[in-house]
Amino acid sequence: MKATHPVITSLATMTMGFLYLPLFGVAIYSVNSAEKSLLWEGFTFNWYLQLFENEWIIQTAWNTLKLALVSTVIATILGTLVAIGINRFPWSRKANAFLDVLLHIPVVTPDIIMAGALVVAFGALRAFSDVFEPGMVNMIIGHITFQIAFVALVVRSRLASIGHDVEEAARDLFASNWYVMRRIMLPLMLPGVVAGAMLAFTLSLDDFVLSFFTSGPDSQTLPLYIYAAVRKGVTPEIHALSTLVVLITVVLVVGAERLGRKKEI
């Protein structure tokens, strides 16, 4: 095996350091007993305990969880249907290429652009209904708009790995469409569906830009709370809250990655 050049190794190490050292720093200060000083004064879990005594943090955590769960369930259903429709319908080559580009647009579009477009869209819809006032409904719709693409891409890659042979064999044995979908395709797609759902949940959990543009006074989420709190000064409670959010995100991302790589059929 050819040895890696020392320069490449050094650059890779520095890159990983820039990415993860700040996160480790936040985690370390979250268990530092010093309230305002950056010097280490002792180990404590008091800042984590105080999080659960803060009613505002509990409310924002509930809003974050409700937003992520509702938007993930809807986006997973719609994204799975989109993936099945693109992968299993006999589209022409040009139509398939167009759908592929259309599916990737929400993924590569900057959040600020999508958030601005949603503000304009909701502003127009408010002329017909008060449901689209800034708040939880707008946030759920906004999160669904970008979650669908991620779910569809993950499920579509799973369908590509499954192929058509199993489905064609079932139809040769006179299996109905409903039987093929319920007893064959859904069990085989399940790892991809779960991985896409976990990825969508993680993206919703960490989202700031879309939530900031579509939220109302009673629909603040944890990222919005952290942003507002940091503007007043970073406290150990913010370090603890940020550490918990990062840990949950890492667990979900690792789980989604493992499920997405599962190839057993």
Question: 194-226: per-residue pLDDT in tens?
Answer: 888 988 998 998 889 999 999 888 888 888 888
CA dihedral angle for residue 112, residue 101, residue 263, residue 188, rounded to 10 degrees: 100
Write down the pLDDT at residue 143.
Answer: 94
pLDDT of residue 264: 47
Is the pTM higher than 0.75?
Answer: yes
Helical packing angle, 136-162 and 236-260, nearest 10°: 30
Which pLDDT value is given to residue 222? 84
Query: What pLDDT, on a 0 to 100 scale, did the predictor assign at position 263?
Result: 47
The stretch 74-95 carries a mean pLDDT of 87
> 75 is written with which tokens?
């986006």
Residue 49 is predicted with a pLDDT of 84
pLDDT band at 1 (very low <50, low <70, confident <90, very high): very low
Residues 28-56 have pLDDT tens digits of 888 888 777 667 777 888 888 888 888 88
Distance set, CA 109 to CA 46, 79, 103, 116, 117 (Å) = 41, 18, 11, 12, 11
Q: Can you give the pLDDT at residue 80?
A: 92
Q: SS in 3 state form for the chain? A: CCCCCHHHHHHHHHHHHHHHHHHHHHHHHCCECCCCCCCCCCECCHHHHHHCCCHHHHHHHHHHHHHHHHHHHHHHHHHHHHHHHHHHCCCCHHHHHHHHHHHHHHHHCCHHHHHHHHHHHHHHHCCCCHHHCCCHHHHHHHHHHHHHHHHHHHHHHHHHHHCCHHHHHHHHCCCCHHHHHHHHHHHHHHHHHHHHHHHHHHHHHHCCHHHHHHCCCCCCCHHHHHHHHHHHCCCHHHHHHHHHHHHHHHHHHHHHHHHHCCCCC
* pLDDT for position 3: 56
Class of domain 44-260: mainly alpha
Task: Please report the pLDDT score of residue 73 as a whole number.
Answer: 95
Length of the chain: 265
End-to-end C-alpha distance for the chain, whole angstroms: 33
pLDDT of 78 above 60 = yes
**Cα gap 4→49, rounded to integer Å:** 46
| Whole-number Å distance between alpha carbons of 181 and 170 | 10
Res 157 pLDDT > 60: yes
pLDDT-derived band at 259, boundaries 50, 70, 90: low
For 16, the token pair is: 């990983």
**Residue 32's beta-bridge partner residues?**
43
Using only C-alpha atoms, what is the Rg of the chain?
Answer: 22
What pLDDT does 67 receive? 93
CB neighbours of residue 258 within 10 Å = 12
Q: Return the closest-CA partner of residue 241 out of 48, 4, 86, 65.
A: 48
Q: What per-residue confidence (pLDDT) applies to 147?
A: 93
- Residue among 6, 2, 43 nearest 236 (CA): 43
Asked whether the predicted pLDDT for residue 148 surpasses 90, the reply is yes
* pLDDT score for 14: 85
Q: pLDDT averaged over the chain?
A: 83
